[in-house]
């Protein structure tokens, strides 16, 4: 059959990223507490395309994922992206994987059990034999405004916050470890199931631990920087303000700059 993708293109324009986006695929992620966890990933896969090629072979991206089965973890990401680059005869390859990640948590007083969902992600970029790999997690939290508490006679406004942590590491840092750092840095962590006694506890704990969005990113950063496995991090926090029409945002970054390769 005629191979249109391999025909020559004469426009002289190379393409930096071409591939498939939004591919949904069942995967099994390694889990610190339960060994493995089944979830559904949304996957983006790209390669570069030299100026003289008309197109890439889209089916080969899906074949690469299928070849590695359902187990995806930090340890086999490099194998996947290397195979993708080889199958598509490319110089560069990009792999982005995002997935819901669940942890069972006990309510603070009644110990009622419930699942809390987070968002995990792996981003890999392979250029030649040089690999850059960033991974992390998005964690929902509660924050209570220190200023509101200081100036108000009754109560203080609080809101849902979202913290995104990205890291480059020498050795694997578990997503659960990053989640715990974030939750301990907030006014309070979130739960899926709370009885009255638990709600009272969580509300009062948040009131006793007010944090600005700036406090949140700094406290997370201090804890992550102490971990010798981490060589780079970026921490972002966004508060979905309850008394403003805008959100509050802060970001801090440290270590080997993005764009460098391991």
Closest CA to 168 of 98, 253, 233: 233
Residue 262 resides in a domain = no
**Whole-prediction pTM value?**
0.91
CATH code of the domain covering residue 69: 3.10.270.10
pLDDT of 129 over the 70 cut: yes
pLDDT higher than threshold 50 for residue 262: no
Answer for the pair 62, 19: CB distance below 8 angstroms, yes or no. no
**Distance in angstroms (rounded) separating the CA atoms of residues 23 and 1:** 26
Q: What are the pLDDT digits (tens) for 214-246?
A: 999 999 999 999 999 999 999 999 999 999 999
What was the pLDDT predicted at 4?
A: 60
Provide the number of structural domains found in the chain. Answer: 1
Q: Is residue 209 part of a domain?
A: yes
| Region 143-170 average pLDDT | 95
Segment 19-47, tens digit of pLDDT = 999 999 999 888 888 888 999 999 999 99
**pLDDT higher for 52 or 119?**
119
- Average confidence score pLDDT of the chain: 92
Residue 260 falls inside a structural domain: no
pLDDT beyond 80 at 167: yes
**What distance in Å separates the CA atoms of residue 233 and residue 162, rounded to the nearest whole number?**
16
Q: Residue 37 forms beta bridges with which residues?
A: 29
Please give the residue range of the domain that contains residue 191.
Answer: 4-255
Assess if residue 245 is contained within a domain.
Answer: yes
Q: What is the pLDDT of residues 172-213, one digit of tens each?
A: 999 999 999 999 999 999 999 999 999 999 999 999 999 999
Contact 50, 90 (CB under 8 A): no
12 domain residue, yes or no: yes
Q: What is the mean pLDDT of residues 251-259?
A: 80
Distance of CA 171 to the CA centre of its chain: 17
Please give the pLDDT value at position 56: 86
Of the candidate ranges 3-7, 127-131, 139-143, 240-244, the one whose mean pLDDT is the lowest:
3-7
Does 183 fall in a domain?
Answer: yes
C-beta neighbour count of 178 within 10 angstroms: 27
Distances (CA, A) of 76 to 83, 98, 116, 124: 11, 15, 26, 11
């Amino acid at each position: 059959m005629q191979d249109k993708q391999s025909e020559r293109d004469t426009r002289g324009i190379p393409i930096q990223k071409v591939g498939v986006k939004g591919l949904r695929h069942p995967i099994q992620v390694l889990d610190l507490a339960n060994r493995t966890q089944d979830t559904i990933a949304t996957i983006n896969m790209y390669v570069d395309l030299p100026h003289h090629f008309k197109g890439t072979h889209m089916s080969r991206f899906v074949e690469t994922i299928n070849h590695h089965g359902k187990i995806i973890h930090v340890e086999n990401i490099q194998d996947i992206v290397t195979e993708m680059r080889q199958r598509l005869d490319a110089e560069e390859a990009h792999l982005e994987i995002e997935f819901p990640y669940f942890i069972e948590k006990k309510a603070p007083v009644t110990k009622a059990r419930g699942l809390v969902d987070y968002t995990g992600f792996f981003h890999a970029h392979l250029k030649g034999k040089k690999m850059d790999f960033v991974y992390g997690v998005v964690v929902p939290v509660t924050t209570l405004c220190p200023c509101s508490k200081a100036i108000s006679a009754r109560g203080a406004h609080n809101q849902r916050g979202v913290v995104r942590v990205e890291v480059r590491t020498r050795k694997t840092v578990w997503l659960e470890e990053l989640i715990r750092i974030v939750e301990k840095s907030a006014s309070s962590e979130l739960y899926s199931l709370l009885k009255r006694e638990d709600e009272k506890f969580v509300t009062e704990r948040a009131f006793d631990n007010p944090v600005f969005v700036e406090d949140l990113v700094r406290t997370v950063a201090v804890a992550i920087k102490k971990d010798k496995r981490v060589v780079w991090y970026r921490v972002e926090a966004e508060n979905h303000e309850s008394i403003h029409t805008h959100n509050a945002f802060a970001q801090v970054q440290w270590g080997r700059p993005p764009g460098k390769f391991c």
